[in-house]
Chains A and B, each alone.
Chain A
Amino acid sequence: MQFFWAFIIGGAICAIGQILIDKTKLTSARILVLFVVVGVILGGAGIYPRLVEFAGAGASVPLPGFGNLLAKGVKQEIDAQGAIGILTGGLKAAAAGLMAAVSLSFLAALIFEPKAK
């Protein structure tokens, strides 16, 4: 059942992205920014965590899930560290994904050559 809802909710979030790309003139870069920011806001409001509980990876794997992670991190850091958490929470929560993407992208740039056009 968890797989079913992961498929439905994850697919639906991607379909919304596709509608935005096709129906508006938003470039995919703007969509990425929009989805992460929406995820942060819904995460902050406590709505997105419920979606994650319900749909698991279907909610956490799409980019709003990344935003939700930032919101969750900021709250946890404020609970643990007080006001300083406002500054440290978001990046701290994103650190693993961010460093994975930075290091692997750098490695890819070392290994692979650009596609000949």
Chain B
Amino acid sequence: MSRALRYSTPAIALHWLIALLIFVAFPLGVYMHELPLSPEKLKLYSYHKWIGITVLLLAALRVSWRMTHTPPPLPAGMAAWQRHASSAVHGLLYLLMIAIPVSGWLMSSAKGFQTVWFGVLPLPDLVDKNRELGDLLAGVHQTLNFTLLGLVILHVGAALKHHFIERQPFLQRMGWGKKERT
């Protein structure tokens, strides 16, 4: 019985959708932070928070899908340390996709600005307004994000290396190119 070398279609769709949202939210977060107070800044903060909560929901969906579906096996020739590294990086990426929006949500609450998803759905404030906590969570949010940036570089670099240098059909795993089966 052959096994698919591709993630399931919902997993692929969630991967690229979340990747796209993170690629928008991350630079937006860096940019908006430096702006002087203006209506534009307030809008950008809201958009950033809406995207973040969307990532949180999609990531929750994705993690539950991942836990109930077997991912395609890694190529047979991969070294054990690479398998361990791959598994560790993927675990951390899933963790950060949840932890980063949660840290942003908590930071918003601590800074006294409730998160209202798309300006319509108010999320509960899980912590009270507290300046010290807000500053602490801002640091946590930033640190987690730069950790994510490092891991994403590692993740993309490893995928490209396996695909182009080691000539393994790696990008097909996430839907690029035609379906291949062993």
- Do A and B truly interact? no
